Amino acid sequence: MTTQPEAVNLEESPAKNISNETTLKSEASWLQIIHAEIIAVTSAMRKNGRWSSMNTSNFRMGTLGGSMGLRTGRRNIKDSSLKEKKDPLLEGLVRLKQHLESIQDVKDIDALELVQPFLEVICSGNTTGPVAAIALGSIEKFLSYGILGIKSPNIAHAMNTLTSATSGCKFVSSDAISDEIVLLRMLQVLEMALINECGQVLSDEAVCEIMESGLSICCQMRLSEMLRKSAEHSMINMIIAIFERLKSLEDDWSFIESPSDAAEELAEQIHMSTPTATTAASSLDSVEQKTDQDTEESIVEKTDSYTISPISEPVRSLSVSNVIPKPYGIPTIRELLRVLISLLNPHELKHTDSMRIMALKLLNIAFEVGGRSIGRFEILRSLVTDEFCKYAFQLAKTPSVPLLSLSLRVIATVFDTLDAFLKLQQELFLSFLIQRLSVVTDNVDIDEDGKVSFLSTRIETLDTDTSRSASPNILAKSTEKTKNSVDQAPLTPEIRGLLLEYLLQFVRREGFMIDLWYNYDCDLSCGDLFEELVQFLCRNSFPDPQSYSITNYHSLCLDTVCMFITQMAERNLNRVRW
């Protein structure tokens, strides 16, 4: 009976932050589990007429039987013709079973030899959905039980081949529900492969392929909402694992002289395609027709746009390089950030609001887990300070409450983790919130090119040459734009409440008002943000002079002013005591 090896000590591994909680302890022997999975796949295949007549017997007489004079039965011509008709998929599983008989310990088996017969079934394109789902389940079980472990022989090649094959899963389409079950199982395998301890050996190309597959399913509007939400949940778990890894990466990338040149070099090495939404008329994936002797079957397979290196032939014909793949790192994280940020572009008609909401959720998780670590790398930080802020600030003008709420949440998370690098962006955003919440006489506009206009009906009283704001200021424009601006439309109570809540969330941060006064009001190149914010809060702490009604809006502003005064008094008292 084969004993299970001890758990891997991850403290000795480069990725200290990867948990081993995904590895279960099986009380059954690994040899029995592998044999059971082989039988499960072959049994499911033989239920199909294509493999029911295949000769897959691996019965061997052996030397003992020969010495005793035992002979096999005679085979007629029909039997010999059947013998020649062997299916490569079944033969691969049979060879694996024979190989298991010749090894002393299961943990010594080559990881690639273990998974390759199952990967051939997944990628053949001739198997039905249920068969592909069983093969995918076998792979997931090997990862969950630790049969595929970080110390398994040839684990790096096995894991990269596994993710490439799973992302390129092909099977005979039957009905929508059955197809979605296979896609769900595919997502589970990809998620397990990445968050498992073995995921640290995946290459940049493999991880990008995994994330591309997940994003494509999230954006397939023809798929059921349950599958798309499951894909989104899997993406969240994978992003947590990826940005946790960012914390343990070296700072080599933080000292490059030209981040733009490095970004161009990375773009040539690795590239993720931006997913596009599909309508109900679109296919589940790409469907191609394939004739097989008696029947025509539609085969569901992933399109080239979903994969970095599309699989054009079965895994069994792929040659495995002797070079150990380099584990993923900054190139993957940068490409993932680039794709997610590009989905936020409000002027890209191919991107729907549901796609933007999905991208915002994933970005919020990324910034919550690794926001401060992103600040260590200029090549990552530049994506946030430029493209992200440009698109997110424009989304802050949307009338859609769900999109606005999530946009403000992500912006607040970014300012909380990367505030040291976002001085001008914070000035712009706070000014935008103050002006948006103020009376109609003031306005801050962000056009589709990301340019900022501080517009006011009091333009004739302002001297544009003495403006202290470091943000782009176009005060010399006509006031007609102010009168007809979208921002002049009255805010709904829900949107007004959202904007105020997030503005006050900034103010409630410890030491925020002091930092605001020091970094902006004391800087001759910036506006008097502290003064403007205090005036806004005081002005809105009183009831409306027309209706004399006190709303939650006024109460929040008054509470914030009182909180600020209390903090000043406490600081003064502590200074006197000291």
Phi, psi of 455 (to 5 degrees): -110, 145
Q: Which of 421, 412, 388 is nearest to 519 (CA)?
A: 421
Phi, psi of 292 (to 5 degrees): -130, 90
Separation of alpha carbons 28 and 216, rounded Å:
37
- Per residue in 545-561, pLDDT tens? 665 556 778 888 889 99
Phi, psi of 284 (to 5 degrees): -55, -50
Q: At what angle do helices 155-167 and 176-195 cross, to 10 degrees?
A: 150
Cβ neighbours of residue 390 closer than 8 Å, sequence gap 6 or more: 450
| Rounded percentage of the chain residues whose pLDDT exceeds 70 | 67
326 pLDDT above the threshold of 80: yes
430 pLDDT above the threshold of 50: yes
Helical H segments across 467-520, by residue range: 480-484, 493-507, 512-516
Q: Do residues 307 and 204 touch, judged by C-beta distance below 8 A?
A: no
- The first and second tokens of residue 419, run together, are 């505030």
SS3 per residue for 237-259? HHHHHHHHHHCCCCHHHHHCCCH
Other residues' Cβ atoms within 10 Å of the Cβ of residue 558: 16
More confident residue, 86 or 280: 86
154 Rama class: left (phi>0) / alpha (psi -120 to 50) / beta: left
Separation of alpha carbons 71 and 510, rounded Å:
87
Which of helix, strand or coil describes residue 302?
Answer: coil
Q: Looking at residue 478, what is its pLDDT?
A: 38
Q: Do residues 196 and 238 touch, judged by C-beta distance below 8 A?
A: no
Q: Which of 19, 339, 315 is nearest to 210 (CA)?
A: 339
The amino acid at 456 = S
β-strands 295-301, 442-446: how paired?
unpaired
Other residues' Cβ atoms within 10 Å of the Cβ of residue 276: 16
- Per residue in 236-259, pLDDT tens? 999 999 999 999 887 655 444 455
Q: Looking at residue 574, what is its pLDDT?
A: 79
- Per residue in 494-539, pLDDT tens? 999 999 999 999 998 888 999 999 999 999 999 999 999 999 999 8
Separation of alpha carbons 360 and 235, rounded Å:
12
Separation of alpha carbons 485 and 478, rounded Å:
12
- The first and second tokens of residue 87, run together, are 């299916």
Separation of alpha carbons 397 and 404, rounded Å:
7
Q: Which of 189, 275, 191, 202 is nearest to 234 (CA)?
A: 191
Phi, psi of 128 (to 5 degrees): -80, 170
Q: Which of 329, 363, 57, 147 is nearest to 235 (CA)?
A: 363
Other residues' Cβ atoms within 10 Å of the Cβ of residue 332: 25
The model carries a pTM of 0.77
Q: Domain extents for the chain? A: 12-58+76-253+278-315, 422-578
More confident residue, 337 or 572: 337
